[in-house]
Chain A
Amino acid sequence: MSEVILSVRNLTANVDGQQILKGVNLEVKAGEIHAIMGRNGSGKSTFSKVLTGHPDYEVTGGEVIYKGENLLEKEPHERSLAGVFLAFQYPLEIPGVSNLEFLRVAYNARRKYQGLEEIDTFDFEDLIEEKLSVVSMNPSFLERSLNEGFSGGEKKRNEILQMALLEPTLGILDEIDSGLDIDALKIVSHGVNTIANSDNAFILITHYQRLLDYIQPHFVHVMYDGKIVKSGGKELALELETTGYDFLDEQQLVEVGV
């Protein structure tokens, strides 16, 4: 049996004093890809921010065990160093800091954490050139300020580039498909499929089943009002595509006792 990478039990969390997560349960094993679907405001993005430790989110209950350790006790940068990666829905623009420098500092922070020697600028440039091909990115992007003036698709590809470089154990992709045209979607999906292997795991947060045509999930979960209310295989996504989320308001709610 594969190793459990992430185990979330009864997780509750607030933003500005308002409860958004109302008891999330999820188990993710190595080699698995999970998709979390749901409407806007159901708590999907909040879940990703809580896992990665954004300071605006306050955990009020439950636990998150990542590779046998209490994830919630770690500082945000320690969670990253331990292998938890979040591809942002809205990657930030950072003027003045070059993409290359950002990538190198992040990569060396990881090396240092792993007890490895930091690598110099030249070796790093060789390494990153190789990773660029994963997302078909032009090397000229490296010289530009981080995400500054990037199009939506370029920003998302840059997120996947960072992921390819940092090789996370758990990758969380928050609406990586939003704002992408079909070509960019293919590139991004190809990137994720290249990185995914039997030792790591991914959580895809998305509204649309379209993404799942390109990245095949093992499990699909539906989030509603701060909880995962339905889980299934890939066919659940297709079902949602035809029925929409409306069914949740009626029969489903009675079933799960919301």
Chain B
Amino acid sequence: MNTSVKTLVNQPYKYGFITDIEADTIPRGLNEDIVRLISSKKNEPEFMLEFRLKAYRQWLKMVEPTWPHVSYPTIDYQNIIYYSAPKQNKEKIKSLDEVDPTLLEAFEKLGIPISEQKRLSNVAVDAIFDSVSIATTFKDKLAKDGVIFCSISEALHEHPELIKKYLGSVVPVADNFFAALNAAVFSDGSFVFIPKGVKCPMELSTYFRINNGDTGQFERTLIIAEEGASVSYLEGCTAPMYDSNQLHAAVVELVALDNADIKYSTVQNWYAGDENGKGGIYNFVTKRGLCKGVNSKISWTQVETGSAITWKYPSCVLIGDNSVGEFYSIALTNNKQQADTGTKMIHIGKNTKSTIISKGISAGNSKNSYRGLVKIGSKATGARNYSQCDSMLIGDNAEANTFPYIQVDNKTAVIEHEASTSKIGEDQLFYFAQRGISEENAISMLVGGFCKDVLNELPMEFAAEADKLLSLKLEGTVG
């Protein structure tokens, strides 16, 4: 490797700064008292505490999954801080003017302007810092259309009937080990409700920031699109660089009623640890969408570039007849990162359709696995699935795996699966070099080309950013 390439390899993670802000932090560890304490800190209604306690008691009986193709030292769940909130002067913030300027600055630094003047013109943002939502922009404007976009804590107070009805309806409290943990201790997250017949007038987005070093982040997102409603939602994530690993165990639930349409995009750039694998976020996330109504559609697009370990399978349960599930994914791993990610498409209703496009890129000494399940139930007459899983290897030490699972209980189902593995090797780079194109630009073009099908699915405002992020993450990976 030449020197300029080496410099690029060692380019620091640009979101690794720590914001110095006084925090309200509870003691380490987890027990029923902690669960009660979190609930009382948030001033929650009784039903919510019951929900949490039920989850906690279930969690105690569960074991951490060992089937993902990743390895990490045992997590000490008693050594994690389950709640940390930046101290704010007032109990409830009425406008952005009352938000601590240090926090606004932190988000500005991340390129997420939430102050009035600098907002992205057509994107409403919910900014979550450690355990709490700091601010949600454009709330009033959205309210005019009947769209509710707020933190889940706020929704608990303002719209308890919706929370009661839908929370845990897609991902039950004891769905899996990490989902149960989340249900017990989740601190905040975003809530979106699009009423019947409304097309959400702007992109909604949540930006997650972990700041505190020993804090886990357990957020919960719930999106409901009523009959004929549609919404496009995007989440972004970053964290400072710490030597220790931090746990992020989120749950996202989507509900689409008849003819509703939800598009959920993720650009995940949690701190990935250093080049020797020290530090980084454990990203253990449960995301599931329920196509409850006929002709409903849920589409997941994810660009996963960060985290030391990623364990997530955004899924669609296709109950309504003619409903559609989509999963478009780019998972990029470098250095010592490990990813085991994919999707589940569960076909229950008739003529349900799903599409899976997965692009895995492994560089450095990383491990990148696609794991996906396509299940066609006995009543899902006329169901169709198309899956395409492509892996790209960069360099000689990276690992790529594909674990597709297919279960078909209805003979009329049509399932297509394609897979490919390619490698960016010296010969391709030499071809580019021979036309005067530097190694960095060549890799960026090759990866951009490889990922094009998925990048095209992202909302326009973020596609370019995601493309740039991919190049940045890969600079200097072939030496």
What is the bound-complex CA distance between A92 and B449, given in angstroms? 15
A54 touches B436 (CB 8 A): no
Within 8 A of A (CB), among B422-439: 422, 426-428, 430-439
Q: Does A94 sit within 8 A of B, measured CB to CB?
A: yes
Q: Is the interface of B mostly helix, strand, loop or mixed?
A: helix
A105 touches B441 (CB 8 A): yes
What is the bound-complex CA distance between A158 and B445, given in angstroms? 19
A109 touches B434 (CB 8 A): no
Q: Chain B CB within 10 Å — which of A53, A85, A109 has the most?
A: A109
What is the bound-complex CA distance between A195 and B28, given in angstroms? 74
A102 touches B2 (CB 8 A): no
What is the bound-complex CA distance between A86 and B436, given in angstroms? 11
Please judge, given known A-B contacts A91-B431, A94-B431, whether A109 and B436 are in contact too, CB under 8 Å: yes
Quote the shortest CB–CB distance from A111 to chain B (angstroms): 10
Closest residue on chain B to residue A97 by CB atoms: B449
Closest residue on chain B to residue A75 by CB atoms: B2
Contact residue among A53, A94, A97, A106 (Cβ-Cβ distance under 8 Å from B436): A106
List B contacts of A113 (CB < 8 A).
Answer: 436
Contact residue among B430, B437, B446 (Cβ-Cβ distance under 8 Å from A109): B437
Within 8 A of B (CB), among A99-125: 101-102, 105-106, 109-110, 113
What is the bound-complex CA distance between A228 and B452, given in angstroms? 47
B433 touches A77 (CB 8 A): yes
B450 touches A95 (CB 8 A): yes
A80 touches B436 (CB 8 A): yes
Contact residue among A76, A94, A98, A101 (Cβ-Cβ distance under 8 Å from B434): A76
Interface size on A, residues (CB 8 A): 31
What is the bound-complex CA distance between A79 and B430, given in angstroms? 12
Contact residue among A94, A101, A109, A145 (Cβ-Cβ distance under 8 Å from B438): A109
A85 touches B445 (CB 8 A): no
What is the bound-complex CA distance between A106 and B18, given in angstroms? 41
Please judge, given known A-B contacts A96-B446, A96-B450, A105-B445, whether A55 and B436 are in contact too, CB under 8 Å: no
List B contacts of A145 (CB < 8 A).
Answer: 449
List A contacts of B428 (CB < 8 A).
Answer: 92, 94
Q: Does A5 sit within 8 A of B, measured CB to CB?
A: no
A97 touches B445 (CB 8 A): yes
Q: Does A143 sit within 8 A of B, measured CB to CB?
A: no
A86 touches B434 (CB 8 A): yes
Closest residue on chain B to residue A109 by CB atoms: B436
What is the bound-complex CA distance between A91 and B33, given in angstroms? 67
A101 touches B435 (CB 8 A): no
Contact with A along B435-458 (1 / 0, CB 8 A): 111110100011011111000000
What is the bound-complex CA distance between A55 and B433, given in angstroms? 11
Counting chain B residues whose Cβ lies within 8 A of the other chain, the interface size class is 20 to 34
Contact residue among B422, B433, B435 (Cβ-Cβ distance under 8 Å from A102): B435
Q: Does A52 sit within 8 A of B, measured CB to CB?
A: yes
Quote the shortest CB–CB distance from B327 to chain A (angstroms): 20
Quote the shortest CB–CB distance from A45 to chain B (angstroms): 13
List A contacts of B452 (CB < 8 A).
Answer: 96
Quote the shortest CB–CB distance from B424 to chain A (angstroms): 10
Q: Does A166 sit within 8 A of B, measured CB to CB?
A: yes
A106 touches B435 (CB 8 A): yes
Contact with B along A64-76 (1 / 0, CB 8 A): 0000000000011
List A contacts of B445 (CB < 8 A).
Answer: 97, 101-102, 105
Q: Does A162 sit within 8 A of B, measured CB to CB?
A: yes
A85 touches B434 (CB 8 A): yes
Please judge, given known A-B contacts A77-B439, A80-B434, A145-B449, whether A95 and B426 are in contact too, CB under 8 Å: no
What is the bound-complex CA distance between A195 and B258, given in angstroms? 64
Given contacts A97-B446, A109-B441, 17 further A-B contacts (CB under 8 A): A53-B433, A54-B426, A56-B426, A76-B434, A77-B433, A77-B437, A80-B435, A80-B436, A85-B434, A86-B434, A88-B431, A88-B434, A95-B450, A96-B448, A96-B451, A162-B435, A166-B435
Using CB atoms and an 8 Å cutoff, list the residues of chain B in contact with chain A: 2, 422, 426-428, 430-439, 441, 445-446, 448-452
21 contacts between A and B (CB under 8 A): A52-B434, A53-B433, A54-B426, A55-B426, A76-B430, A76-B433, A77-B434, A77-B438, A77-B439, A81-B436, A92-B427, A92-B428, A94-B446, A95-B450, A96-B446, A96-B448, A102-B435, A106-B436, A109-B436, A113-B436, A162-B435
